[in-house]
Amino acid sequence: MLKSLKVTLATAAALGAFIASPAFAETKINALFMAQAAYSEADVRAMTDAFTKANPDISVNLEFVPYEGLHDKTVLAQGSGSGYDVVLFDVIWPAEYATNNVLVDVSSKITPEMKEGVLPGAWTTVQYDGKSYGMPWILDTKYLFYNKEILGKAGIANPPKTWDELKEQAKIIQDKGLLKTPIAWSWSQAEAAICDYATLVSAYKGDFLKDGKVAFTEGGALDALNYMVDSYKSGLTNPNSKEFLEEDVRKVFQNGDAAFALNWTYMYNMANDPKDSKVAGKVGVVPAPGVDGKSEVSAVNGSMGLGITTASKHPDEAWKYITFMTSQATQNQYAKLSLPIWTSSYEDPAVTKGQEELIKAAKLGLAAMYPRPTTPKYQEMSTALQQAIQEALLGQSSPEDALKAAADNSGL
């Protein structure tokens, strides 16, 4: 009996040691994502479930915030002692994050296969001063979406190739009584407005900065704001555009209340979903237009990356998660809301099938992506420009004066 008890105790002790073994300890990491545009929350959760099934020793706590809260949430968490391991970051933030030691330099972790396989333009999303602060994940620019049925009823054979043609076609649609205000934009006092503005700046060949100094008060950057104000005052633009974010634009377009809309990749398949959209099957997409004598197309770099914070206590597990989320296999599987960063993905029928029109536009748009300025002072400059755009749209200031005031308030 005593011998039997000893065996039982020994077995229990061995089992306890086995269960407590570090090899089977679960590491928990925290990841911060945005709850709008590109991949849906459901998609991110599904990707993460696949990761944890393949890596049962790692669990991932997901948090989603609106884009407008992503930057501040990341920065504030750094000093709290209980921050994030993995964060989604915009192309405009690496300069600030590198300067303020928010993200880990992962240059040494990027393999030759990654370097060669990812589209060259995608790397600019995560780089600053020759170093990489994560992996590109969302490859995105804004496209011009149009309602094929409305253009057909207006007798318009092809979508506009220039911004002036856009106004001309919108006027035809308006004059025929098809829509009161045919164009929808994301001009709320937020980064969304800067993305639309930057798209136009790229068309007019303007500059935000030159040699580190403000250059948006003149030339193509001034032309871009003049275009926005003219479109708004003409009555061709939905007046609520001054309060719209991208999701508002999507809903207006999907409801059939806009003939033209500037928006990110994700809107193509969402607007073509008959369960939620009144315009499914009528959605056309082309690169954002150009300007006669200056540009063929226009595009803003709206890409985003995944990085490891310097506050992370589990950087190795965080990197393992990032490489899974940004892998070609994962991205190809979820290519309907965000196009892959991998060059060879565009030859995969699983990626291209059903969105050939979008892929055609992407090949031109992604090649023309215009960067918002790379500066540690980006947040101050963007805030000043957001205010300038609002004041100009509302007629509180001329575009020239509004941009001069923005320059004074930009922190540069």
Q: What counts of helices (H) and strands (E) characterise the chain?
A: 18, 14
Query: Residues 216, 403: contact at Cβ < 8 Å?
Result: yes
Residues whose CB falls within 8 Å of the CB of residue 236, separated by 6 or more in sequence, listed in order: 167, 170, 171, 174, 181, 182, 183
pLDDT at residue 406 is higher than 50: yes
Q: What is the dihedral of CA 232, 264, 214, 224, to 10 degrees?
A: -30
Region of residue 221 (left: phi > 0; alpha: psi -120 to 50; beta: else):
alpha
Write the class of the CATH domain 27-140+302-360: alpha beta
Residues whose CB falls within 8 Å of the CB of residue 72, separated by 6 or more in sequence, listed in order: none
Residues whose CB falls within 8 Å of the CB of residue 358, separated by 6 or more in sequence, listed in order: 143, 265, 268, 269, 285, 339
3-class secondary-structure state, position 110: coil
Q: What is the pLDDT of residues 162-198, one digit of tens each?
A: 999 999 999 999 999 999 999 999 999 999 999 999 9
pLDDT at residue 367 is higher than 50: yes
Residue pointed to by tokens 């060059």: 343
pLDDT at position 24 = 52
pLDDT at residue 360 is higher than 70: yes
pLDDT at position 18 = 42
pLDDT at residue 21 is higher than 60: no
Mean of pLDDT over the chain: 92
Q: What is the pLDDT of residues 107-132, one digit of tens each?
A: 999 999 999 999 988 998 999 999 99
Query: Residues 182, 173: contact at Cβ < 8 Å?
Result: yes
| Token code pair at residue 376 | 């540690």
Per-domain residue ranges of the chain:
27-140+302-360, 143-300+377-408
pTM: 0.85
Summarize the confidence of residues 82-106 as an average pLDDT. 94
Higher pLDDT, 173 or 3: 173
User: How would CATH label the architecture of 143-300+377-408?
Assistant: 3-Layer(aba) Sandwich (3.40)
Asked if the domains 27-140+302-360 and 143-300+377-408 are classified in one and the same CATH topology, the answer is yes
